Amino acid sequence: MPIPEDVTGDEIDKDVRQELQSLPKTLAEDVARNLVMVARLIDEDPEGAYGYSRVALRLASRVAAVREAAGFAAYANQKYSEALAEFRAARRMTGTVELWPVMADCERGLGRPEKALDMAGAPEVHKLDKAGQVEMRLVAAGARRDMGQLDAAIVTLQSPELASNSVQPWTARLRYAYADALLAAGREREAREWFAKAVEADRDGSTDASDRLAELDGVEFVDALAEDETDEPSEADESAEAVEASEATEAAESTEAAEAAEASETAEATEAAEATEVTEAAESTDASPEDGDKD
C-alpha cells in the first residue's frame, strides 16, 4: 500500500522503535512507516488502517507492537475474533495486562457478555492502572446491559471515579455511560443531570453528550448549510426556468410575426384600395369630355 513521502517512521513511540531494533534496518523502517499509517488512519479510515496493519503484520509478526496495532485495527473494523487473537498474542509476548479491558470488550463483541464479566472479576484487573480499571468498569457495565441487567449496569458504574469532581481523561466517557444507562432505565431527570456533567468534562469532544442533552431538552439543530442548499435553485429548477423563458420568447416572436403579417396584409389592402380609387378617378376623368361632345 502507498505511504506518503512525509511519513518517515520516526513518528512512532520510542518504545515501539526500540522493539523494532531487533529487525534489519530497512525492514524496521518499512514496518515503522506502516505502523504510523495505522495510527494516523484508525479513527477516520479504519479500513485503510486495517490494510496497513496487515502489511506490518506480514513483515514482522513476531513484534509485540505490530500484533497490538493489528489487534486495534481489527477491533476498529469490528473484526472481534481477529482482534482478540492479536491481543492475546501481544499479551503472551509482553506479559502485561494493559490489553485486558479491550480483550474483554472483544468478548462482548462476539456475543459473550458472560465471558466479559468473568474477565472483569479476574485477578488481572487489580494489576491495571486507574485508567485501565475505569475502562474495565465500562466494559463490565456494557456487558450487564447486553444481558438486559440495567440496574446492575448502573450500580457497576457507581464508583469513586464517577463521584469525583476532578476531570481525568476517562471522566467524560464514564459520566456519559452512566447517563446513558440511567436514560435506558427510564430515569430521565437523573440522566439529564449526568449528560450535563459529561459535557462539562468532555473538553475534546470525545462523546456526543451535548447532542444528547439538547435532545432531552427538546432542542432541534438546523443545518444552515442544508438550508442554503435548499434556497439555491437546483439544476432542475434552472432547466425549467430556461424552458419557460424559451417558450415565452418563442410566443413573443410568434406574436410579433403575426402582428407583422397582419400589418403587411392591411398595408397591401390599403394600397390596393388606393390604387382602385386612382383608377376609378382616372376613368371618370376620361369619360367627362365625351359627355361634353354630346351636348
Q: Dump pLDDT digits (tens) for 213-248.
A: 999 988 765 655 555 555 555 555 555 555 555 555
| Residue 39 confidence (pLDDT) | 96
> Phi-psi category of 287—alpha, beta or left, where left has phi over 0 and alpha has psi -120 to 50?
alpha
Widest CA span in the chain: 155
Lowest model confidence (mean pLDDT) among 93-107, 144-158, 263-277: 263-277
HEC states along 177-233? HHHHHHHHCCCHHHHHHHHHHHHHHCCCCCCCHHHHHHHHCCCCCCCHHHHHHHHCC
Mean pLDDT rounded to a whole number for the chain? 84
Task: With a cut of 70, say whether residue 273 has pLDDT above it.
Answer: no
Task: With a cut of 60, say whether residue 130 has pLDDT above it.
Answer: yes
| Residue 86 confidence (pLDDT) | 98
Mean pLDDT of 248-252: 53
> Please, which residues have CB within 8 angstroms of residue 195's CB and are 6 or more apart in sequence?
175, 176, 179, 209, 212, 213, 216
What is d(CA 13, CA 132) in angstroms, rounded to the nearest whole number?
20
Q: Does 255 or 61 have the greater pLDDT score?
A: 61
Task: With a cut of 70, say whether residue 180 has pLDDT above it.
Answer: yes
High-pLDDT (> 90) share of the chain, %: 68
Using CB atoms within 10 Å of the CB of residue 63, give its burial: 0 to 12 exposed, 13 to 18 middle, 19+ buried: buried
**Is 31 within 8 Å of 16 (Cβ atoms)?**
no
**pTM for the structure as a whole:** 0.72
| Residue 292 confidence (pLDDT) | 41
| C-alpha R_g of the chain | 42
Q: What is the pLDDT of residues 8-56, one digit of tens each?
A: 998 998 999 999 999 999 999 999 999 999 999 999 999 999 999 999 9
Task: With a cut of 50, say whether residue 286 has pLDDT above it.
Answer: no
What is d(CA 253, CA 117) in angstroms, rounded to the nearest whole number?
83
**pLDDT confidence band for 278 (50 / 70 / 90):** very low
Which cell goes with 82? Answer: 481477529
Mean pLDDT of 158-181: 95
Name residue, grid cell 472481534. 80
Contacts 24+ apart (CB under 8 A), 134-141: 134/159, 134/161, 134/170, 134/174, 135/101, 135/102, 135/170, 136/100, 136/101, 136/104, 137/161, 137/174, 138/101, 138/173, 138/174, 138/177, 139/101, 139/104, 139/105, 139/108, 140/104, 140/116, 141/177, 141/181
| Residue 1 confidence (pLDDT) | 84
